[in-house]
Amino acid sequence: MSSPLLTYAGLLERSTSLIHAYVHNDPMVVGYVFWGQRSVADAYGDPLYSGVGGVGPLSLFQVLRGQSYRSPALRRKGLGLIEENRRGTTHLLFDIEDFVVPAGGGPAVGPDTNWLFLRAQEARDAGPAFYPDVPTADMRMVGVIATDQVIVKGIYFEFQAGANNLAGRTGLIGQPFLIGLGAGDNDAAANLAAAFNDAADVAAQMDLQLPVNTHTFALNPGAPSPDVSIAPEDAAANLLPGSIAQFTVTTPSAPRVLIDPDVVTAGTLIYQPDLASPVLGPIYCIPPATYFGTREPTFTLSGVAPSGSASAAGGLPDLDEDYTSAAPRALHLVFPKPLTALSIRNLSAVNLLVSFGPEQAMRNVPANGELALYTGTTKELLLACPDGVAGAGFTLHGVTSGETP
């Protein structure tokens, strides 16, 4: 089973208005959400104390394991329908122009003449071998007070005094749905169950998060009772075939909201404190189509190596898979073609750490220093800053061979 932090697509074709990439199927992965941005920094985001300052990647589309996704423009044009054996792989074919959206300072993704920085997010099955049926999770509301939070599949539910005020909800990622506290724990549990089942707003937001194509259905059994039971369900109220335990519950700042310990022990709950910034794979750097028509193309990219990770000179890059940790991880770049030469310059007044693969030790590039390689084949780079909280700015100049990707 691969690591979510190492999952990235391979490039089959890059032509004008078409990117065709694929992922080898993992039996423990139900599907993928692909995210993208227009710069390295924005694709990485801005975890606390990282110093990167990126706006974060944009969710582009979802695709179930073993299926093929085609973006609207390709479907309209009848493109991407080549007959080929795609057994054991998941494919994504899209026109980047389908995802150009207005944003401060210009388009968030695209246009087609720009680089795309793509990241994969895995929807993982909790493990069919361990569960004979689709389990439910029980949450018990104990002494809930205003400002307590529960996060389910990336949706923030925040308790407020007074009656249930879902009518005044905002419901966007990072902006919580406000749940009425009521007179006691049973009221809080009943209001939370009602919020889960709000198909018009809450369920629609949940369907944008992992797992793919499911939302959470909830009951407040035996009311009056402080318990809430949740179970995964698709939009037609049928369990998603072949996929079980597909829900995520987190309670990062609600110590009074208890999760049934037996359910936790069974492994059906995945703890992840910041689902607004989900665990994503490496940043896959996809150049424009003109890049591949050059004999030995060169490029220059810039970014900020994150502070705040556990990376250190002489050690392996920090790619900690502990989902309870919101600490920054190393910046991981992957290129569709190996670099035959490269130069990395540290633009900051602090140290910069560089590794040429997840299993290779990090080398230190001192303030205002440069690391150059003139031979070899380098497909991955991992960068971090061991000093301060402001990161280390860098530029990367790369040269690739003229072979097709």
The answer for residues whose C-beta is within 8 angstroms of residue 380's C-beta and 6 or more apart is 282, 332, 333, 334, 335, 356, 357, 358
Residue 270, in any domain of the structure: no
Residue 271, in any domain of the structure: no
Nearest C-alpha neighbor of 249 from the set 234, 268, 235: 268
In this predicted model, what pLDDT tens digit does every residue of 233-285 receive, in sequence order? 544 433 333 434 445 566 655 556 766 665 554 444 433 333 345 678 999 99
Per-position DSSP letters for 298-311, written without gaps between them? EEEEEEEEPSSSS-
Residue 272, in any domain of the structure: no
Residue 150, in any domain of the structure: yes
Confidence of residue 368 (pLDDT cuts 50, 70, 90): very high
Q: Judge if 136 and 258 occupy the same domain.
A: yes
For the chain, what is the domain count? 2
CA angle, residues 278, 280, 283, in degrees to nearest 5: 140
Q: Judge if 303 and 228 occupy the same domain.
A: no
The answer for residues whose C-beta is within 8 angstroms of residue 68's C-beta and 6 or more apart is 80, 86, 90, 91, 92, 93
In this predicted model, what pLDDT tens digit does every residue of 136-146 receive, in sequence order? 677 888 888 88
Q: What is the pLDDT of residue 371?
A: 96
Q: Judge if 219 and 283 occupy the same domain.
A: no
Q: Map residue 49 onto helix, strand or coil.
A: coil
d(CA 336, CA 357): 15
Q: Judge if 253 and 290 occupy the same domain.
A: no
Q: Judge if 239 and 135 occupy the same domain.
A: yes
Strand residue runs (E) in 38-148 = 58-64, 68-70, 89-94, 116-124, 137-141
pTM of the model: 0.67
Q: From 204, 233, 265, give the residue that closes a domain.
A: 265
Nearest C-alpha neighbor of 53 from the set 361, 360, 392, 372: 392
Q: Judge if 288 and 232 occupy the same domain.
A: no
Q: From 204, 235, 265, give the residue that closes a domain.
A: 265
Q: Judge if 203 and 260 occupy the same domain.
A: yes
Q: Judge if 14 and 112 occupy the same domain.
A: yes
Residue 223, in any domain of the structure: yes
Q: Judge if 206 and 97 occupy the same domain.
A: no
Q: Judge if 259 and 157 occupy the same domain.
A: yes
Q: Judge if 189 and 222 occupy the same domain.
A: yes
The CB density around residue 165, as the number of other CB atoms within 10 Å, is 15
Q: Which domain holds residue 146?
A: 130-265
| H or E stretch covering 399 | strand 392-400
Residue 323, in any domain of the structure: yes
In this predicted model, what pLDDT tens digit does every residue of 62-99 receive, in sequence order? 888 898 999 998 989 877 666 666 788 999 999 998 88
CA angle, residues 350, 277, 24, in degrees to nearest 5: 100
Residue 118, in any domain of the structure: yes
Residue 287, in any domain of the structure: yes
DSSP 276: T
Q: From 236, 265, 294, give the residue that closes a domain.
A: 265
Q: Judge if 121 and 139 occupy the same domain.
A: no
